[in-house]
């Protein structure tokens, strides 16, 4: 009976790091990041599209970051593996083929950290992915995080300042 194997060219690892400056204090950015994610998470990033009621980040060890489709249905993006509020959030997630371009199946280790900078905050995003990778995986993931946190979170926080 034949067996299927994947070549080494189809598997690998990618590490993406970026920093986004947000014109708000660290506590405000943290609150928006973990308590108000449904207000800034970009609709284009939701797998469930119009059926998604909310995007939730449960800030507890073992909590989930997930799309809530209602009636107990949805999609888990990440599991929370570490919290040091309001400084760092660690998550592990699984990416499936077709959901994120040429990525998947793969496992991602995501670290979000906040640092004060003057009257503002720097959000540092570190994403380490292992699994099936294509040539454009690193660029695709980096651009996605820039959009989500730069156009989503940053824009939301800065426009909602009082």
Q: pLDDT tens digits for 90-138?
A: 999 988 766 666 667 889 999 999 999 999 999 999 999 999 887 788 8
In the chain, the percentage of residues whose pLDDT exceeds 70 is 88
CB–CB of 152/146 below 8 Å?
no
Question: Given this model, what pLDDT does residue 99 score?
Answer: 62
Q: Specify the pLDDT at position 8.
A: 46
Does 2 score more than 80 pLDDT? no
CA angle 138, 99, 72 (to 5 degrees): 130
- The pTM of the full predicted model, rounded to 2 decimals, is 0.88
Is-contact 14 137, C-beta < 8 A?
Answer: yes
Q: Which CATH class is domain 12-43+84-159?
A: alpha beta
Give the pLDDT mean for 21-45: 96
């Amino acid at each position: 009976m034949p067996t299927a194997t994947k070549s080494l060219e189809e598997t690998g690892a990618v590490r993406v790091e970026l920093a986004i400056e947000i014109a708000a204090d660290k506590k405000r950015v943290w609150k928006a990041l973990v308590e108000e994610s449904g207000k800034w998470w970009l609709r284009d990033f939701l797998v469930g599209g119009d059926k998604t009621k909310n995007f939730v980040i449960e800030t507890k060890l073992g909590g989930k970051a997930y799309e809530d489709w209602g009636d107990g249905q949805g999609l888990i993006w990440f599991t929370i593996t570490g919290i040091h509020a309001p400084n760092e959030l660690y998550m592990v997630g699984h990416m499936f083929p077709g959901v994120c371009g040429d990525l998947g199946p793969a496992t991602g280790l995501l670290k979000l950290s906040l640092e004060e900078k003057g009257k503002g905050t720097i959000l540092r995003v570190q994403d380490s992915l292992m699994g099936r990778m294509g040539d454009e995986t690193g660029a695709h993931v980096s651009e996605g995080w820039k959009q989500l946190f730069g156009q989503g979170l940053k824009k939301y926080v800065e426009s909602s300042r009082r």
